[in-house]
Structure 1
Amino acid sequence: MTPMSGTGFSYTLTRTLDVPADRVWQAWTTPDRYARWAYAAPGSVEMDVRPGGIWKATVVTPDGGEFPLTGSYLEVEPDRLLVIGMDVPGKPEPQAMAVEFAEDGPRTRIVVRQTCDTADERDMAEQGSTMLLDGLTTFLAGDAGN
């Protein structure tokens, strides 16, 4: 399963951060760090970062609503690639999203790719991914290497 396969509706987002890939990787794969930038409820994030490993998080919306999310890791290449499967109610297969990390000296280029079944699903997924990248950018800018 690849996030760019099929005839669906795709998006690609790119962001370059002034931090090395290992710090970006840790932010994506360490539960307490992920919760701090990904709008997750404290204590709700679980991650078993290996192919077939599961993840869970409860996202908190600006109006206080909570949405539990679950899925699994489809591909894992430390400091380089995460392909994350997200469980979608009513769909037999997880929705895959690829997050690529490309280090360029002290900077890291992140590329997020996903293909969805409908334009509405793509637009919602792209909006959510943009919010994640915004949160990650702010978190890492103020993280001071911790």
Structure 2
Amino acid sequence: MLLVLDNYDSFTFNLVQYLGELAAEHTLAADLRVERNDALTLEQIRALAPAAILISPGPGDPDQSGVCLDVLRQLSPTIPTLGVCLGHQAIAQVYGGRVVRAREQMHGKTSSVQHSGAGIFTGLPNPLTATRYHSLIAERESLPDCLEITAWLDDGTI
């Protein structure tokens, strides 16, 4: 089961829809469970034994992401975890990186994203065009070596 932790963001359900479509394309069962970031305790999530976790976008900063920081600290070392926007920032923060204000707010603006071509980027155009909705970023220079940067902008933003 893929557990999606929803940080109270409407885009979460776009991600869930895409995951369902991707599963169907590859004839996989789409065993998705969506829970708000304050609906389950860490112990309840552990008991669910998810195969993977997706931490969604959301308002605010990682400190406002409910159980997500504890999930990252306790479960992400053994359960594959993907963070999108706020989820990405939470991963950076938990592993010692800083989350800072972006030089420019990016609400509905597109950017050209370079990527490694591996993992979730396999088979995607490089660069690809992505629409961004955020005012905070994970500060590249503060990230520890245990985090691998797999996508970036020309200006170094990750």
Shorter-chain TM-score above 0.5: no
Higher strand share: 1
Larger Rg: 2
Q: Which TM-score applies when normalising by structure 1? A: 0.30
Q: Which TM-score applies when normalising by structure 2? A: 0.29
Pick 1 or 2: higher relative contact order, CA cutoff 8 A, min separation 6: 1
